[in-house]
Amino acid sequence: MANSKKWGNIIGGKEDLEGDNHILTSPADGSEIGEVVYASKAKVETAIDSSAAAFENKWLHTSLRDRKSLLQKLAHRVMERSDEYANLESLNTGKTIRQSMLMDIPLGIEHIRYFAEENEFRESRKISHPEYPDTTGEIQFAPMGVVGAIAPWNVPFLMAVWKTAPALLAGNTVVLKPSHFTPLTALELGKDALYAGFPPGALNVVTGSGDVVGDTIAKSRKISMVSFTGSTTTGKRVMSAASASVKKVTLELGGKSPNIVFADCDIDHALKGVLFGLYLNSGQLCESGSRLLVQSSIKEEFVSRLSKLLEAMKAGNPMDMTTDVSAISNRKQLDKITTMVNEGIAGGATLLYRKEIQAIVPSGGLYYPPTIISSPNLGLEILQEEIFGPVLSVVEFRDEKEAIEIANKSDYGLAAGVWSKDIEKAKRVASTLMAGTIWINEYHLLSAAAPRGGFKQSGVGRELGLEGILEYTQTRHIFVNKGFNDQDTVAYGLVIAEGE
C-alpha cells in the first residue's frame, strides 16, 4: 500500500479509501509523501460498531493464550517490514532516520513482543473472605469492551503500539485514532494486524481531525474507555466529553520535566544524558528534560561544554543516516516554539546558545535550532510551560533541598532525571520528586515492563507494564458459597427471624 502513496482507514477488516483526501508533506524537506483519507463521523461510527461486534462475537471468546499468539505474529510481521516502517516514520514526522531505524521501530517491536510474552497478567485471582470462612471469592480482570485510543503526532508508531498491544492483550477491541499529521505507521500497523490474523474489527484505525474523529470516539456510548495522549488542554476536553457517558479515561499529558545535575556527577556522562534527554527528536517528546537544574558550582562549565556538544550535532536532511537534528513535525508546532522563545526573551530570559542550522537544513523543511536559555525568574512561561521543542531552560540551585523545591514547583509531573555518583542521595531525591518516571544517571530509556504516566497536570492512569495492562480491565468479584451454613443462618435471620 505504501507504494501507491494513498492510505485509507482500517475499518472492519478492510482498507476504506472513501472520504476526503488530504496530501501529506514531509516536514524533513517539504516533499509530498502521498494522500491520506480522513474519516467522517459516519465512518468513525462504523468503525466503532465493527469493534463492538468483534468484541461481542469473537474477541471476548478468544483465549489469553491465543491473543498473545496473535501479538507475537504481529511483532514478527512488523519486524519483516521494519525498514519500511522506519522510512515512513521519518518521512511523516521529520525525525532522523537513524532514530527511527535504531530506536523507535525496534523498540516498538520489542514492546509488542513484551505483551505477547509477559507472564504477570492474570485474568483472575482467588481470594478468601475473612468474615465468611465457608465461602471463596474470585476476582476477574474483565476487559472494558471497546477502547477508543487517541494518539499524538510525535512518536506515532510507539504510541500506536502502547495504545493497542496491552488493550488487545487484556481482551478489548480498539478503535485507534492516530494524529492526522502523522498517521502512516499506525495505519500500516492496522493492516499488519489483519495480516497476522486478528479478526476484522479487533483493531480499527481511523484518522482525521480531533473535532470529528476524536470527539466521536470520546462521546460514543459504545466505547467503554478512552486512552488519550497529548496536551493537557486537549486532555481536559477529552475527559469532559467522555464524562457524559461515564466512561473510563486515562490521560498521558504534558510535562516540564526537570533534569537535576549535581556537582558530584560524572560530568561527561551527564552532559550526554542531558543532551539526549532534550534534543532527541528535537525535544518533541512528552517526558523531555526541558528544565536543566544544575548545581551552581558547575553551571558555567556545564553550559559551556553542553553548547560545544550541540555545536557538534550535524544538521541536514533527517533522511540521511548521518544527520543528528530532527525536523519539527508540523508548522503549528514550529510557530508555537518560535512564539514562546521570542516572548521569553522579550520577558527577560537570556539566550545562552543557539545553533546555526538554517543554511544547512533542507529549505522546504520545518526546523528550529537547538537553543539554550536561562532566567532567574522562574515564573516566566517559557520556564513553566511545555515548549515541545529543542529549547533547554537552565536554572541553577545551591543544594539538594533547593533542587527538590525548584523541581516540584511545577503544575506538571511526568518525568525527571537525577545525575550524581552518590546513588543513595540520587534515590533519596528521586523519592521526593512528584513525577511518574525518574531516571538516575540516565534519561529517556523506556521499558515495556515499567509503567509510565504523570502526576498532577501530567495525567491520570498508566501505560505499559502490568499496571498499564490492568488499566484496560475492570474487576468483577464472584462470591461463591457452596451451601447453606451457619453464617447464612445469622445473616438471613436479620430479616427473617427464626420461628416466624
Q: Is residue 316 part of a domain?
A: yes
Phi and psi torsions of 310, nearest 5°:
-65, -35
Number of domains in the chain: 2
Percent of the residues in the chain that have a pLDDT greater than 90, as a whole number: 97
Confidence grade of residue 205 (pLDDT, cut at 50, 70, 90): very high
Share the mean pLDDT of the chain: 97
Q: Is residue 447 part of a domain?
A: no
| pLDDT (0 to 100) of residue 500 | 60
Query: In this structure, are 64 and 111 located in the same domain?
Result: yes
- State the cell numbers at 212: 470529528
| Active-site residue, from 188, 252, 386, 463 | 252
Percent of the residues in the chain that have a pLDDT greater than 70, as a whole number: 99
Query: In this structure, are 194 and 95 located in the same domain?
Result: yes
pLDDT digits (tens, 9 = 90+) for 283-325: 999 999 999 999 999 999 999 999 999 999 999 999 999 999 9
Q: Is residue 268 part of a domain?
A: yes
pLDDT at 425 over 70: yes
- Where in the sequence is the domain holding 211, given as residue range(s)? 2-253+458-478
**Residue the block writes with cell 530532527:** 326
Query: In this structure, are 241 and 332 located in the same domain?
Result: no
Instruction: Give the domain CATH number at 33.
Output: 3.40.605.10
Measured CA to CA, the distance from residue 416 to residue 288 in angstroms comes to 9
Confidence grade of residue 73 (pLDDT, cut at 50, 70, 90): very high
Query: In this structure, are 240 and 295 located in the same domain?
Result: no
Q: Is residue 43 part of a domain?
A: yes
Measured CA to CA, the distance from residue 101 to residue 82 in angstroms comes to 8
Would you call 265 a catalytic residue per the annotation? no
Confidence grade of residue 3 (pLDDT, cut at 50, 70, 90): very low
Radius of gyration of the CA atoms of the chain, in A:
25
pLDDT at 161 over 70: yes
Among 326, 389, 274, which Cα is nearest to 99's? 326
pLDDT digits (tens, 9 = 90+) for 82-135: 999 999 999 999 999 999 999 999 999 999 999 999 999 999 999 999 999 999
Q: Is residue 500 part of a domain?
A: no
pLDDT digits (tens, 9 = 90+) for 355-383: 999 999 999 999 999 999 999 999 999 99
| pLDDT (0 to 100) of residue 497 | 83
Query: In this structure, are 172 and 265 located in the same domain?
Result: no
Give the relative orientation of helices 105-117 and 156-169 as an angle to the nearest 10 degrees: 10
* pTM value surpassing 0.85: yes
| pLDDT (0 to 100) of residue 284 | 98
- Mean pLDDT across 260-269: 98
169 in Cβ contact with 464 (< 8 Å) = no
Q: Is residue 267 part of a domain?
A: yes
Query: In this structure, are 219 and 178 located in the same domain?
Result: yes
Instruction: Give the domain CATH number at 407.
Output: 3.40.309.10
Would you call 131 a catalytic residue per the annotation? no
**Residue the block writes with cell 495492562:** 469
pLDDT at 1 over 50: no
Q: Spell out the SS3 assignment of the chain.
A: CHHHCEECEEECCEEECCCEEEEEECCCCCCEEEEEEECCHHHHHHHHHHHHHHHHHCHHHCCHHHHHHHHHHHHHHHHHCHHHHHHHHHHHHCCCHHHHHHHHHHHHHHHHHHHHHCCCCCCEEEEECCCCCCEEEEEEEEECCEEEEECCCCCHHHHHHHHHHHHHHCCCEEEEECCCCCCHHHHHHHHHHHHHCCCCCCEEECCCCHHHHHHHHHHCCCCCEEEEECCHHHHHHHHHHHHCCCCEEEEECCCCCEEEECCCCCHHHHHHHHHHHHHHHHHCCCCCCCEEEEEHHHHHHHHHHHHHHHHHCCCCCCCCCCCCCCCCCCHHHHHHHHHHHHHHHHCCCEEEEECCCCCCCCCCCCCCCCEEEECCCCCCHHHHCCCCCCEEEEEEECCHHHHHHHHHCCCEECEEEEECCCHHHHHHHHCCCCCCEEEECCCCCCCCCCCECCEECCEECCECHHHHHHHCEEEEEEEEECCCCHHHHHHHCCCCCCCC
Last residue of a domain, one of 394, 414, 440: 440
Q: Is residue 483 part of a domain?
A: no
| pLDDT (0 to 100) of residue 499 | 65
Q: Is residue 484 part of a domain?
A: no
Query: In this structure, are 322 and 215 located in the same domain?
Result: no
47 in Cβ contact with 175 (< 8 Å) = yes
Measured CA to CA, the distance from residue 226 to residue 236 in angstroms comes to 12
| Active-site residue, from 89, 188, 265, 286 | 286
User: Which residues on adjacent β-strands are paired with residue 7?
Assistant: 36
pLDDT at 4 over 80: no
Measured CA to CA, the distance from residue 192 to residue 81 in angstroms comes to 10
Query: In this structure, are 407 and 465 located in the same domain?
Result: no
Query: In this structure, are 300 and 428 located in the same domain?
Result: yes
Query: In this structure, are 312 and 432 located in the same domain?
Result: yes
Query: In this structure, are 194 and 263 located in the same domain?
Result: no
**Residue the block writes with cell 489469553:** 64
| pLDDT (0 to 100) of residue 498 | 74
pLDDT digits (tens, 9 = 90+) for 453-497: 999 999 999 999 999 999 999 999 999 999 999 889 999 999 988
| pLDDT (0 to 100) of residue 2 | 41
Query: In this structure, are 184 and 241 located in the same domain?
Result: yes
